[in-house]
Amino acid sequence: MKRVGMLTSGGDCQALNATMRGVVKGLYNLLGGNVEIYGFEEGYKGLIYNEYRLLTGKDFSGILTKGGTILGSSRQPFKEMRNPDENGMDKVAAMKNNYRRHELDCLVILGGNGTQKTANLLREEGLNIIHLPKTIDNDIWGTDMTFGFQSAVDIATDCIDCIHTTAASHGRVFIVEVMGHKVGWLPLHAGIAGGADIVLIPEIPYDIDKVCEAIQKRTRAKKGFTILAVAEGAISKEDAKLSKKEYKAKMANYAYPSVSYELAELIKQKTGADVRVTVPGHTQRGGSPNAYDRVLSTRLGAKAAKLIVDGKYGYMVGIVNGETCKVPLGEVAGKLKGVDPDAGIIKEAKMIGISFGD
């Protein structure tokens, strides 16, 4: 009997259920049903406080198309994992004890960068771990694609598509703020797919004068409107030169809800344009996974099941050059996969006239 623990940690996304389904269906088919699934609720919180459910194959039936996570999720910051909880409990020791209490053969952890760092910590503590790369940001090192990304691209693109008609009708400048705190994969792909005229991402600090110049160029060409796809973590060239301490101090007294509203005010001041801001926010993480993510999740889940059956632990399951692969957790944990400003996709976007404000 294989005893497998499973949890989903951090922000949710559309394909968590689809990925868990891939793991469980793979295990049932490979082991003939000779498996027990322990679903820890609300991420690492469930593992710390032993809040779990015994799950069967029926729990994973019909969830391929269901967004969110049937196990629930929560954020348990990696930097606080070594700190005792409010009652003095050693969280790492508690997770190890609960793993051993249930005599688990391994723990399957679905999550992004912070989740991955804790997964690697547990691996270093001697637990058998498999990590599956979830994030709409597509910023996990060692895999070409994370599940959730393409579904979020579809939603952000649809938002930009919808903005086109109202922007054209009123001759306005519209800023669509797309999720992407530290990396710009999502606004980059959505911006290109949605036909945005300007795309601002964290990896390419913007010059506000260059942004306004691109807007005015369209105005002179009688284009009538301009659409900007702006990462929530977009940063100006001036701010990019600040130290972390200086930037943190500036943001502590920031007068705007987000960078998009500051951009809107500056653009209005410098160009006189009528500017509006649209923030799709958490809709980008919601709804059903698209077809691409359903396929990707199923493949990653099946690969994870094979590793479990073969007793190969300590890996993240990724996809590289179209093939699933196992990547040692210790080699990727803590690494961020950003957009290379010199990448082909940036150069090609510039070729068709998209401005990055640089």
205 and 235 Cβ atoms separated by less than 8 Å: yes
Q: What is the pLDDT of residue 233?
A: 94
The values of phi and psi at residue 161, to 5°, are -55, -45
Residue 206 and residue 152 in contact, taking contact as beta carbons nearer than 8 Å: no
Segments of the chain with pLDDT less than 70: none
Return d(Cα 50, Cα 56) in angstroms, integer: 18
pLDDT of residue 77: 87
Task: Determine the pLDDT at residue 210.
Answer: 97
pLDDT score recorded for residue 42: 95
Read off the DSSP letter of residue 334: T
The confidence score (pLDDT) of residue 248 equals: 86
- 153: part of which helix (H) or strand (E)? helix 149-170
**What pLDDT score does 244 carry?**
85
Q: How many CA atoms lie within 13 A of 40 on its CB side?
A: 26
Are the CB atoms for 150 and 14 separated by under 8 Å? no
Torsion of CA 132, 133, 135, 140, to 10 degrees: 160
pLDDT, residue 326, reads 97
In eight-state DSSP terms, residue 78 is G
Predicted confidence at residue 217, as pLDDT, reads: 93
Q: Starting at the edge strand that comes first in sequence, how are the strands of the sheet with 35-40 ordered?
A: 52-55, 35-40, 2-8, 106-111, 129-133, 315-320, 323-328
Choosing from 12, 137, 139, 293, the catalytic residue is: 137
Domains for the chain: give ranges and CATH numbers: 2-148+289-332 (3.40.50.450), 151-285 (3.40.50.460)
How much is the mean pLDDT over the chain?
94
Predicted local distance difference test score (pLDDT) of residue 52: 97
pTM above 0.85, yes or no: yes
Structure tokens given for 147: 């599940």
CA distances from 184 to 153, 199, 317 (A): 12, 9, 23
Q: Can 137 be counted among the known catalytic residues?
A: yes
Q: How far apart are CA 9 and CA 69, in angstroms?
A: 10
**pLDDT for the residue numbered 76:** 87
